[in-house]
A and B are shown apart, each in its own frame.
Chain A
Amino acid sequence: MSTPVIKIENLVKRYSDLVAIDHFNLEIKDGEIFGLLGPNGSGKTTTINCILSLLSFDKGTIEVFGKKMHPDSYDLKRQIGIVMQNVAVFDTLTVYENIDYFCGLYIKDKNLRKQYVEEAIAFVELDQFRKFYPKKLSGGLLRRLNIACGIAHKPKLIILDEPTVAVDPQSRNKILEGIVELNRQGATIIYTSHYMEEVEQICTRIAIMDSGKNIACGTADELKQMIKKSEKITIEISSISDEHMKNLLSLPHVYDVDYSNGQLNVSCSGGRHNLIHVLEYLQQQDLSFGRVYSELPTLNDVFLEVTGKELRD
């Protein structure tokens, strides 16, 4: 079995009385795109900062590439690329200079650095903006520059901390495609976000964090299988009696029925033809209805069921 890229055991980090990370365990394998999903304040960035040895912690161990991480572990740091949550570039340097500066902190050879910088610029598609100062760039382009500064030195492990915050959909897609491409080129990715769609879209494995705890970990499918709900049926209907709702609840695999704002919500666990059963019942009872939706569970449902609150709280 290969050495995990990151291994965190029993990590505890306190800010005075507040427990930011609470006995957190995690193992990330080589070649993964690992998602850390959780609401704001759940401890994602704190965990990242502990991994990077920027933050001291109260308890636990962190290993990177099989070695204990220290502030002086320059051999390990050389293999890590970080894309901070807040854009961290020099306003006084151009796009090219910013990437060259940060790449130069890792790569001494001038020619190799020049090649890497060019590749990074091409990768984030900022070629025509290479002489622009950051203030002249849009939010999306700025985020791309932020990413280029973090990945130009071709690290084996790339940590992206909420890289798509405040980014337009087009730039967001470009960023996500880029992350998948970096992974395809051999980098292990840690991706933190509170956007479950993004995490679900690109991550091979996901850990859901809340209040500093790792509350669930696995692939998106594994996480969804952990919960009771497997299908949610929503039907637009003008009114429905309690008796009909009781009857719907007695249908096979249906475990919850509620009606609000002209919408009937039927939650099912397991079963493959739940929608047909529900619609058949409504037709048999001569109940007229409008649009019908059937949704598979989302990571938000997983979060809701495990924590009792919405992910976007």
Chain B
Amino acid sequence: MFFHEFKYTIKNILRTKEEIFWVLLFPLLLSIMFHVAFGNINNTTENFHTIPVAVCLEEGAHSESFQKVLDTLSDESVEDTPFLAITYTNLENALTLLETNSVRGIFQVDDEISLTCTPSTASSSNATLAIEQSILESFLREYRTNAKTITEIAMTNPQKLPEVLSLMEADDFYGQKLSLTDGNMDTMVQYFYNLLAMACLYTSFAGADISINNHANLSTLAARKCVSPRGKLLSVIAHFSASLLIQFICIALNILFMVYVLKVNFAAPIPLLMLTAFISCILGISFGFFVGSLGRMEQGIKIGIMVAFTMVSSFLSGLMVGNMRSIVENICPLINDINPAVLISDSFLTLNIYGVTNRYTHNLFMLLLFSAAFLCIGCIKIRRKTYASL
């Protein structure tokens, strides 16, 4: 029964031109457009270099500790190419430096630490800006997490503090960044990550079909299936597996096309790129399954919801405006934490810049967590067997 359903779902998807277009051809065409518009991105590939930042220190809880961290990371005696080049100044001067592009960001430090970055453009002269801003954001986020962890342990379990500190040193986030000079620092590659994220989210169309074809009150086809003696769960699993296989192949073809035809340097092993794409497809299909199971609204409305969600989350991740992610990070970081397009594109970015790190595994974990949530809700809604109306 499983293979019967699996086989016909594959046939169905392969013959549904719209689904193949949005997941395979549309990203493919966009990637060609990006390639043409941005030129040969390999020519602009740069190695990592020191990031100039301005720091405005005020009296506060974080001032001293953060300054020590900054000093360490900008110490030329420790590394030939230090992570940061710091200019301590007041806010007014810092803003002037930012406007003249002399620094990439401003850290304002008092009781809280904030990061201000200049809006970047997609021009090749600002090629590394978005990546550098992303690195500064990651650095700040990591610092905040570690500071919070240390504070909590110091308050609740002080005897464990030395052990935790040595563990943190072993997993030296900042050290890793400095050593990762093989990554592609070209900001244009970020557009391809966002494009892949969007394509992965478009797999939601296939996910919606799973719900619509198994809910008797959503389609006559589903009603006909529901009166047959086959278990609904088995059908859903078969449908999901077949959808995942086809959608993943489409995304994989996109990646291979970008890598081997457009010569985009993702600076990461292909298997890891594929793993990221695979998990992202799981998220996309699960999301579609969830939306498809949302009540009896028309199919067009559900498709509208999925398109809107994909476009908004892709926009916020920087598909249309390069530094949108930085803007969101400054206004409401939580959005970046839960935006699937950001999680997907950031996974690719992390692979590029840092390799497999905690941040990468955390992103994948979040994607799987969201997938599980969408699947659970969808399954709860779809398990119903009799309906009040059809």
What 0/1 pattern do residues 13 to 34 of A give for CB contact below 8 A with B?
A: 0010000000000000000000
Nearest CB of B to A91, in Å: 9
A88-B221, A90-B221 are contacts. A104–B386 as well, Cβ < 8 Å? no
Chain B's closest residue to A77 (CB) is B229
Q: Determine if B386 and A53 form an interchain contact, defined as CB atoms under 8 angstroms apart.
A: yes
Residues of chain B within 8 A (CB-CB) of A108 are 1
Q: Determine if B390 and A49 form an interchain contact, defined as CB atoms under 8 angstroms apart.
A: yes
- The answer to the question of A281 belonging to the interface, with a C-beta cut-off of 8 Å to chain B, is no
What 0/1 pattern do residues 1 to 37 of B give for CB contact below 8 A with A?
A: 1001000100110011000000000000000000000
Residues of chain B within 8 A (CB-CB) of A80 are 227
Q: How far is the CA of A87 from the CA of B386 in the complex (A)?
A: 21
Q: Determine if B229 and A88 form an interchain contact, defined as CB atoms under 8 angstroms apart.
A: no
Q: How far is the CA of A78 from the CA of B1 in the complex (A)?
A: 14
Select which of B12, B229, B390 is within 8 A of A90 by beta carbon: B12
Residues of chain B within 8 A (CB-CB) of A105 are 1, 4, 225, 228-230
- The answer to the question of B385 belonging to the interface, with a C-beta cut-off of 8 Å to chain A, is yes
Q: How far is the CA of A88 from the CA of B226 in the complex (A)?
A: 12
Chain B's closest residue to A113 (CB) is B4
- The answer to the question of A75 belonging to the interface, with a C-beta cut-off of 8 Å to chain B, is yes
Select which of A74, A75, A84, A97 is within 8 A of B223 by beta carbon: A84
Q: Determine if B220 and A71 form an interchain contact, defined as CB atoms under 8 angstroms apart.
A: no
Q: How far is the CA of A101 from the CA of B230 in the complex (A)?
A: 12
Residues of chain B within 8 A (CB-CB) of A183 are none
Nearest CB of B to A50, in Å: 9
Select which of B8, B16, B228, B389 is within 8 A of A97 by beta carbon: B8
Q: How far is the CA of A105 from the CA of B385 in the complex (A)?
A: 17
- The answer to the question of A288 belonging to the interface, with a C-beta cut-off of 8 Å to chain B, is no
Nearest CB of A to B380, in Å: 16
Q: Determine if B8 and A78 form an interchain contact, defined as CB atoms under 8 angstroms apart.
A: no
- The answer to the question of A289 belonging to the interface, with a C-beta cut-off of 8 Å to chain B, is no
Identify which of residues 157-210 in chain B touch chain A, using a CB-to-CB cut-off of 8 Å: none
What 0/1 pattern do residues 207 to 234 of B give for CB contact below 8 A with A?
A: 0000000001001110111111110000
Nearest CB of A to B296, in Å: 13
Nearest CB of B to A103, in Å: 10
Identify which of residues 48-92 in chain A touch chain B, using a CB-to-CB cut-off of 8 Å: 49, 52-56, 71-72, 74-75, 77-78, 80, 82, 84, 86-90, 92
Select which of A77, A89, A93 is within 8 A of B227 by beta carbon: A77
Q: Determine if A93 and B385 form an interchain contact, defined as CB atoms under 8 angstroms apart.
A: no
Residues of chain B within 8 A (CB-CB) of A123 are none
Interface size on A, residues (CB 8 A): 32
Q: Give the interface centre of A54, A77, A86, A92 by most chain B CB atoms within 10 Å.
A: A54
- The answer to the question of A209 belonging to the interface, with a C-beta cut-off of 8 Å to chain B, is no
Q: Determine if B224 and A82 form an interchain contact, defined as CB atoms under 8 angstroms apart.
A: yes
A75-B229, A93-B12 are contacts. A54–B389 as well, Cβ < 8 Å? no
Q: How far is the CA of A72 from the CA of B230 in the complex (A)?
A: 9
Nearest CB of A to B176, in Å: 49
Select which of A53, A88, A92 is within 8 A of B224 by beta carbon: A88
Nearest CB of A to B278, in Å: 25
- The answer to the question of B388 belonging to the interface, with a C-beta cut-off of 8 Å to chain A, is yes
Select which of B16, B228, B386 is within 8 A of A55 by beta carbon: B386
Q: Could you name 10 residue pairs across A and B whose Cβ atoms are closer than 8 Å?
A: A15-B389, A52-B227, A54-B216, A71-B385, A74-B230, A84-B224, A93-B12, A93-B15, A97-B11, A106-B229
| Chain A contacts to B: CB under 8 angstroms | 15, 49, 52-56, 71-72, 74-75, 77-78, 80, 82, 84, 86-90, 92-93, 97, 101-102, 104-106, 108, 149-150
| Chain B contacts to A: CB under 8 angstroms | 1, 4, 8, 11-12, 15-16, 216, 219-221, 223-230, 385-390
Minimum-distance CB pairs A-B, first 4: A71-B385, A74-B229, A105-B228, A92-B15
Given A15-B389, A89-B221, 16 extra CB contacts under 8 A: A15-B388, A54-B227, A55-B387, A55-B389, A56-B387, A71-B226, A72-B385, A75-B229, A77-B227, A84-B224, A86-B220, A88-B220, A90-B12, A92-B11, A93-B11, A149-B224
